[in-house]
């Protein structure tokens, strides 16, 4: 009996020695390719409680994360923002490479939570603003953490760019541009989306007076690159930048090239003035040109689209 036991143990040990290097290298490869989940740390295990912990051992993290995500939605509905934040911490610890959870968490915090607390009538004005800013920063931190853990992903960078270019929050073009650059440089982004983001970068550059030259050069590059880039907004912005920089004719893009016809020019410039200029885009010479076109096209003042 004892002899049997010793022989069995010996065989197991020998087999163990043989497989340890094989398993170690396989584990290494799998971790490199992010196939294996990272270890769940003690703190997370405690937060999950006993059943949750047992489940994560059994390889059901995905299920637990899905259910927690659901719980977070309910917490959001009930405006329990602290709980929501904790829940998303858990969810992203369990599934750090699932982009959508980072995305949702960031959105809930920076948009929903911030908006909600800013409307809280129970708090004094300054406190509302402080808390709203706090949640925006929390959302930002959350998204940045997700982006760092998933360096190949660009969608979180795009979300961060959106957050900092959003005119209704706390627009910060420099931060937005940094994130746009990260997204644009990502290896996984497709051409179409990249082009959209490049145009967004152009807009952000244009918002900064000190970057006018850089903005113009970049915008021109886009303009000449492809017809897809020649959106009304882009053309109008280039027009304004040209005026702001007081470029001489050889450097400018001719007006007739920017806008296909006077009517088109009038419409696009009027729209630009109404919607983009309030967002801090350049306005140099825009009003004058609009008036000039109105005269040229004999559009009566009461039919003008702008009201400066």
Partner 1 sequence: MFTNYFFSSARIGIIAKHTFTQLSRMKVFYFLVAFALLIVGASFFEMPGGRIASDSAEQDLRMVKSTAMGAMSLFSVIFAIAATALLLPKDVEDRTLYTILCKPVPRIDYLLGKLLGVLALIFLSIALMDILLTGILYFRTESIISSELANAAAAGFSSEQVAYYESIIRQQGPTWDLQFGVLAIFLKAAVIASIALLVSSFSTSTLFTIAISVLVYFIGHFTADARDYWLYMMGDDFSMMSKWMSQLAVLIFPDFQLYNIIDHSIEGKNIPANVIGRLSLLTVFYCGIYSILAWFCFRKKEF
**Using CA atoms, how far apart are residues 68 and 8, in angstroms rounded to an integer?**
45
Among 41, 91, 97, 245, contact with partner 1 (rule: CB under 8 A): 97
N- to C-terminal Cα separation, the chain: 99
The site that binds partner 1 (CB under 8 A) totals a number of residues, namely 51
Nearest to 286 by CA among 300, 297, 299, 275: 275
E strands present in 223-281: none
Distance CA 150, CA 38 (A): 13
Smallest distance, partner 1 to C-beta of residue 61, A: 5
Q: Counting contacts by CB under 8 A, is residue 3 touching partner 1? A: no
63 binds partner 1 (CB under 8 A): yes
Stretch that binds partner 1, among 12-20, 119-127, 173-181, 201-209 (CB under 8 A): 12-20
CA 117 – CA 113 distance, rounded (Å): 6
Select from 88, 102, 107, 135 the one that contacts partner 1 (CB under 8 A). 107
For residues 221 to 250, the per-residue mask of contacts with partner 1, x marking binding by CB under 8 A and - elsewhere, is: ------------------------------
Helix axes of 125-149 and 81-94: crossing angle, nearest 10 degrees: 0
The token pair that represents 65 in the structure block: 């994360």
User: Which residues 6+ apart lie within 8 Å of 279 measured at CB?
Assistant: 167, 171, 207
Nearer to partner 1 (CB atom), residue 193 or residue 285: 193
Helix 42-57 crosses helix 81-94 at what angle (to 10 degrees)?
60
Provide the minimum distance between the beta carbon of 6 and partner 1 in the complex, in angstroms, as a whole number. 12
Interface residues for partner 1 in 187-206 (CB under 8 A)?
Answer: 190-193
Smallest gap, in angstroms, from Cβ of residue 246 to partner 1?
A: 37
- Answer for which of 44, 45, 66, 89 binds partner 1 (CB under 8 A) is 66
| 20 near partner 1 (CB under 8 A) | yes
Among 75, 85, 103, 244, binds partner 1 (CB under 8 A): 103
Quote the DSSP letter at residue 94. Answer: H
Q: Which of 6, 43, 57, 256 binds partner 1 (CB under 8 A)?
A: 57
**Distant-in-sequence, close-in-space partners of 176: CB < 8 Å, separation ≥ 6:** 160, 161, 164, 165, 200, 204
79 interacts with partner 1 by CB under 8 A: no
Contact 145, 159 (CB under 8 A): no
Q: Hey, what's the torsion of the CAs at 266, 268, 274, 277, to 10 degrees?
A: -110
Applying CB under 8 A, the span of 97-105, 170-178, 242-250, 289-297 interacting with partner 1 comes to: 97-105
251 forms part of the interface with partner 1 (CB under 8 A):
no
Catalog residues that contact partner 1 under the rule CB under 8 A.
4, 7-9, 11-13, 15-17, 19-20, 22-24, 26-27, 29-30, 33-37, 39, 55, 57-63, 65-66, 69-70, 73-74, 77, 95, 97-98, 100, 103-104, 107, 190-193
């Amino acid at each position: 009996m004892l002899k049997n036991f010793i022989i069995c143990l010996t065989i197991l040990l020998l087999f163990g020695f043989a497989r340890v290097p094989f398993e170690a290298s396989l584990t290494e490869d799998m971790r490199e390719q992010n196939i294996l989940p990272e270890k769940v740390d003690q703190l997370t295990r405690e937060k999950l409680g006993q059943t949750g912990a047992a489940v994560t051992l059994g390889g059901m993290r995905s299920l637990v994360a899905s259910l927690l995500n659901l719980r977070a939605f309910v917490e959001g509905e009930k405006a329990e923002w602290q709980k929501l934040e904790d829940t998303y911490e858990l969810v992203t610890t369990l599934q750090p490479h699932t982009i959508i959870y980072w995305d949702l968490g960031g959105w809930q915090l920076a948009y929903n939570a911030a908006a909600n607390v800013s409307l809280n009538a129970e708090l004094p004005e300054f406190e509302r603003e402080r808390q709203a800013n706090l949640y925006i920063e929390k959302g930002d931190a959350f998204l940045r953490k997700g982006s760092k853990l998933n360096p190949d992903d660009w969608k979180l960078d795009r979300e961060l760019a959106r957050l900092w270019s959003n005119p209704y929050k706390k627009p910060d073009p420099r931060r937005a541009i940094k994130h746009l650059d990260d997204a644009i440089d990502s290896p996984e982004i497709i051409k179409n989306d990249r082009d959209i983001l490049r145009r967004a970068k152009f807009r952000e550059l244009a918002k900064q007076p000190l970057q006018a030259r850089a903005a113009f050069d970049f915008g021109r590059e886009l303009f000449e690159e492809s017809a897809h880039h020649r959106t009304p907004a882009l053309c109008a912005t280039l027009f304004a930048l040209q005026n702001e920089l007081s470029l001489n004719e050889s450097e400018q893009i001719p007006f007739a090239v920017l806008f296909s016809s006077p009517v088109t020019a009038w419409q696009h410039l009027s729209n630009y003035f109404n919607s983009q200029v309030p967002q801090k885009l350049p306005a140099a010479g825009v009003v004058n040109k609009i008036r000039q076109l109105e005269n040229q096209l004999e559009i009566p003042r009461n039919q003008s689209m702008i009201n400066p």
